[in-house]
Amino acid sequence: MDLRLLPGINSPADLKALTVDQLPDLAAEIRHVICEQVSRSGGHLAPNLGVVELTIALHYVFDFGHDRLLFDVGHQCYPHKLLTGRFNLLSKLRQRDGMAGFPEPRESTFDLFSVGHAGTAISTAVGMARGDLLNGDSCTAENPNGRHVVSLIGDASIVNGVAMEGLNNAGTLDRQFLVVLNDNGMSIAKPQGAIAGYFDRLRTSGTYRAMKRAAKDVMANLPGGATLRDMSHRLGEMAKDALCEDAWFEKFGLLTIGPVDGHDLPSLVDMLNTVKDVDRPMVLHTHTIKGKGFDFSEGDATTFHSPKPFEVNGCRVELKSSGRSFTTAFADALCDVMARDEAVVACTAAMPDGTGVKKALTEYPDRTWDTGICESHAMDMMAGMAKTGLKPFFAVYSTFLQRAFDQAFQEVSLQGLPVRLCLDRAGLVGGDGAVHHGFCDVSILRVLPDAALVAAMDEPSLHAAMEFMRTYDTGLSAVRYPRDNVDDRFADQPCPAFELGRARGLRVHDAPDVAILGFGVMTLTAMDAVDRLGEEAIVNVYDARFAKPVDRELIRDLLERQIPIITIEDHGIHGGFGAAVVEAASEMKLDAGLVHRMALPDSWIYQGSRSGQLEEAGLDVDSVVEAIRAQLQAQGQAKTPLVETVASRH
């Protein structure tokens, strides 16, 4: 495609210089460049294709250099970024020096929050609206040049509990406040629940088919000289004819218009100009098509929600594969335990594909659920099922587990219920960056009495961990594994069963110079480092398996023999596995100074490749080699000067 308009858009001011008739051509160019780039690098495709016209219309009408735009489900931000001067960053999408895949204030003042979790935009927008009021800076009837506040929410995150709390408070505002609902009939997968059903009925009713005409009627009937308050009153009366009688949002005190066609740019611009200055909280309900503009993404929006790089060959689309993922391995492990134990049930919160639960949904539909974007509810539902004697497994990204910690504490652990957590995307996640890193699951769960926290280093150990959890009835249990492919170096060896608080020796000598206790896949990095050292040092390597309880007998044996311990984990330095080892040593009155911890630093790590992030965090093979040599040098045993190791890296 010949790009005639997009390269000239360096700011929303350039967008406003275009005529409304030129906007559909700009939309086509934006779709083209997003699809081309995601096909090369991977990223969020269908969500962004669905909001192109809506984003153009918002920037065409509002001035978000002055006004406030809050994103919900931040993976819908690519068109916004292209309209705010970041076209030059698109070619390095999700790389450190390129465009982040989520709103990122470090990147532009047009991004107000770095956000990748659902349900937050309405609440943060209410906060900014109240702050602007207190600062005398908000758009009101008395101050029409003040800041407007708009929150854009979509991908079914409106059903999230936090979004409901935000709506409940938004209805009490006495000022302009606009919630734009991007209703695409989808979440990351098919949306779930009664509210999703309500929107389905609304979209398919005669009401929706009349919305485009009704929106224009609203515009036509507003006299040009109407004051803001008179406009608000008139709009409120006319809106009653544009909605079904049980308009859901009006129960929260928000004036509601729609659903309107979210791809009809002229009508969107007209409608936004009409409602822009209404001095009361309102919802503009837009209907969009997720994946709009390309047959393959419209036809399978779930697969193309956040695809890996792909190639379009005529009518076929081929996703590039890089190996067998932990997610795929988990899908098989979950179905295996469900096949062997009819008491096992499973759920996910809007992530059946992302977590691998889709396979169980297909094979065991009566024992598997997708609850939608509501992790807190999912945790409580699993607690209720555990109370009835079932064996629930909750598959959730590590970063989203944080949203259900209160339920893990009160409804699960306090009750002594055996809910089993399967934590995908634990550790560093690559291109999704800081909003999605799973860096604190161990630290938040380790405080819970009787919790058993394990990590899988490969596929056999993941199966063994799931089997351990199936029979662990004392309390909450959790297994963590990364967004990565499984390593097969131990695939042909028997994998011993998990025993509570017991490590597995992978390379064990009677009198080692150093011992490494690896937690999860970092154990394999340690093995690579020891292989590289060769005969330079005698190093024992253990798959620690448990962060709670840690293997106290092993720790005691090593430290009583004055053998330095290196712990390594792709988890935050505070409160993680290494911290647990140090605490155990201290409790046993052993020399905790012999324990050297390698973990994620106490700082944010932004988007990039997972391997690059591990190197930045000091968790790559070279860093482990340096750590071993440093311990040898500290013990007076170094056979190779440390300075030579450092020099060799460059």
Residues labelled as active-site residues? 290, 375, 403
Distance between terminal CA atoms of the chain? Answer: 43
Tokens representing 35 are 């699809």
Give the separation between CA 203 and CA 261, rounded to whole angstroms: 10
The total of other beta-carbon atoms located within 10 Å of residue 14's CB is 14
DSSP assignment, residue 408? I
User: Nearest-CA neighbor of 23 among 275, 262, 266?
Assistant: 266
CA-to-CA separations, 5 to 27, 85, 110, 564, 641, in angstroms, rounded = 10, 13, 21, 62, 59
Alpha-helix residue ranges (DSSP H) falling in 191-325: 194-204, 206-209, 211-221, 228-239, 265-275, 295-299
Q: Are 282 and 167 in contact (CB under 8 A)?
A: no
SS3 578: helix
Strands 546-548 and 452-455: antiparallel
Residue with tokens 């961990």: 465
Give the separation between CA 459 and CA 208, rounded to whole angstroms: 49
Q: Are 362 and 334 in contact (CB under 8 A)?
A: no
SS3 277: coil
β-bridge mates for residue 548, sequence order: 453
Q: Are 18 and 72 in contact (CB under 8 A)?
A: no
265-275 helix and 52-61 helix, angle to the nearest 10 degrees: 40
β-bridge mates for residue 421, sequence order: 394, 478
CA-to-CA separations, 221 to 217, 226, 238, 278, in angstroms, rounded = 6, 11, 9, 15
SS3 444: helix
User: Nearest-CA neighbor of 544 among 567, 510, 525, 571?
Assistant: 567
β-bridge mates for residue 422, sequence order: 395, 479
Give the separation between CA 413 and CA 125, rounded to whole angstroms: 34
Give the separation between CA 162 and CA 73, rounded to whole angstroms: 13
Q: Are 525 and 563 in contact (CB under 8 A)?
A: no
The total of other beta-carbon atoms located within 10 Å of residue 200's CB is 13
DSSP assignment, residue 597? E
User: Nearest-CA neighbor of 344 among 451, 513, 472, 445?
Assistant: 472
Give the separation between CA 11 and CA 6, rounded to whole angstroms: 10
Q: Which helix (H) or strand (E) holds 584?
A: helix 577-587
Strands 310-313 and 316-319: antiparallel
